[in-house]
Structure 1
C-alpha cells in the first residue's frame, strides 16, 4: 500500500496534466475556428453580396461595397445570348451614308433615264440640254455603280446632240464647279473622268471655256508630272489649245510651263 503523500503527489500531477490538456485543446480549437485573412475577406465579401444572407454590410449606402454588389447584379441580369453572341458589324445591312445629289436625283426619278445592260434607255435628242446637262456633270465624281456609268455616259451623249454648241454656253459656269471638284478628287477614276469631261466640254464650247481655265489648271498641274496621268493630261491640254486658241495656250503655260504647244 502506497504512502498517502505519494498518492497526493500522484493526484496533483494528474490534475496539472489535465489542466494543461484543456488549455492546449482550447487554444487549438480557437486557432481552427479563426478564419485566415484572405479567406475571411472573401467569405465576408460573399456574405455581404449574397442575397438573403443574415449578415448585412457595414458600409453605408452609396459606398464602394454597395456599388460593387450593384454592378455584380447588373452583370448577372444580362442575357446569356448577349454574352455568347456579341454585336458585330453587319456587312449586309444597307449603308447609312447619305446619298450624293446626283444619286438622290436618280433615285427620285428626276433624271429621265435608267441603266439596263450597259445602255441608257432614253432619247437624248428630245431632252433640253440646258436643263439636264448639269445633273450628270455633278455625278462625274461618283464612285458607285450604276451612278458612275449613268453620269459620265449621259454627259457625253448630251454634249453630242445636235445644237449643243449654242445651248451649252449659257450653263458653262454651272458645269465648271463639278468638273473642278472631280479634278481635285483623290480617286484616280474620278480625276480621269473630270479630265475627259473638260475635254468634251472644250470640244463643244470652244473658246467659251477659256475664262475658266485658270481655276481648272491648278488641279491639273498637280498631276502633270505624274507618269500615270502624263499621256492623258497631254492629250487633254492639246485639245484645250486647239479649241481655245492662243488664249488657252497662255492659261496652260502659266500653270504648266513644260507644256509644248501643238499649234506653233
Structure 2
C-alpha cells in the first residue's frame, strides 16, 4: 500500500527537467517598468476619433446664469417649461449676450441645456443685423462644443449652425474664413449613420441622426456661403460633394 501511495504522489510532482512557470506582470507602455524582466507590456488602446470628451463640469454659461447675468427666467404653463425674457430681445447687447449663450452649447443638464438652446433660438430669430458683427466671437464656443464629440452636443450645435447661417444676410459668407476651425470634426461624424436593419431608428424621426445633420449643415453652408464656400468645404471635408454643382 505504501509503495502505491508513493507512486501516485510522484506522479503529481513536476518533472525535474520541466521549466518553472514564471508569472509575468502587466505594465503600462512607455514607462520605465518596461525595462524590467518578466513583464508584459499593456497594449495601447485603439484610436477612436469619435470618442466622447467630457466637457467642463461648470461651463461659462452656467456660471453666468448662476450669477444672474442673463435677463431670463423659466416659467411654466399648460404647454410646459419656456423661457421668459425680462427685457425686449431687440434691446439686448448681442456682443455681450449671444457669445455667452453659445457657451451653453456644451450643456447636457436641465435646465441649462434648455435655457441655452432656447435663448440662442430667440436671439437668432430676432437679431437681424446685430448678428453679423458678433460672428468672430461665436467661433470658439462652436468649436469647443463640436470638440466634445458627444453626439448629443454635436447634434444640438449643428442645428444651431444651420439657424445661424440662415438668421441674417451675409452670415453664411462671414463663416467661410472660419471653416478651418469648425469643419474638421465634420469628417469624424459625416459617415456615422445608424443602421438598424428592419428596426426603427428614432434618431431620424427626432432629427438627431448626426451623419444626416452633418450633410444638411454642409449643404446649407455651401448654399449661403457664396462662390468660395464649396472649395473651402472640399478642402476640409474631402468626401463632400456639391449640392449645387451636382
TM-score (norm. length: structure 1): 0.59
Contact (CA 8 Å) 1:180, 1:194: kept in 2 or not? no
Evaluate the alpha carbon distance shift between residue 100 and residue 258 of structure 1 in structure 2; reply closer, same or farther with a 3 A threshold: closer
Residues 186-225 of structure 1: pairs in structure 2 closer than 5 A? 186-204=149-167, 205-225=171-191
Structure 1 runs of 4+ off > 6 angstroms? none
Give the deviation of 1:261 after TM superposition.
Answer: 1.3
Map of 2:69 onto structure 1: 110
Question: Which of 83, 99, 102 lines up with 1:134 in the alignment?
Answer: 99
CA–CA distance in structure 2, aligned partners of residues 98 and 251 of structure 1: 34
Map of 1:101 onto structure 2: 60
| Segment of structure 1 superposing worse, 202-211 or 138-147 | 202-211
Map of 2:222 onto structure 1: 241
Residues 34-183 of structure 1: pairs in structure 2 closer than 5 A? 99-117=58-76, 118-122=81-85, 123-161=88-126, 164-183=127-146
CA–CA distance in structure 1, aligned partners of residues 149 and 220 of structure 2: 24
Map of 1:260 onto structure 2: 241
**CA offsets, 1:200-231, max 9 Å, x none?**
22223121111101211111111112114221
Evaluate the alpha carbon distance shift between residue 99 and residue 243 of structure 1 in structure 2; reply closer, same or farther with a 3 A threshold: same
**CA offsets, 1:5-42, max 9 Å, x none?**
xxxxxxxxxxxxxxxxxxxxxxxxxxxxxxxxxxxxxx
Contact (CA 8 Å) 1:182, 1:193: kept in 2 or not? no
Map of 2:26 onto structure 1: none
CA–CA distance in structure 2, aligned partners of residues 98 and 165 of structure 1: 33
SS of 2:62's partner is helix
Map of 2:192 onto structure 1: 226
Gap regions ≥5 residues in structure 2:
1-55, 195-209
More helix by share: 1
Give the deviation of 1:165 after TM superposition.
Answer: 4.0
Give the deviation of 1:196 after TM superposition.
Answer: 1.5
Question: Which of 228, 232, 243 lines up with 1:251 in the alignment?
Answer: 232
CA–CA distance in structure 2, aligned partners of residues 241 and 262 of structure 1: 8
More strand by share: 2
CA–CA distance in structure 1, aligned partners of residues 131 and 118 of structure 2: 17
TM-score (norm. length: structure 2): 0.63
Evaluate the alpha carbon distance shift between residue 254 and residue 119 of structure 1 in structure 2; reply closer, same or farther with a 3 A threshold: same
| Segment of structure 1 superposing worse, 224-233 or 124-133 | 124-133
SS of 2:105's partner is coil
**CA offsets, 1:92-136, max 9 Å, x none?**
xxxxx9632111110111011012232111142332322211111
SS of 2:72's partner is coil
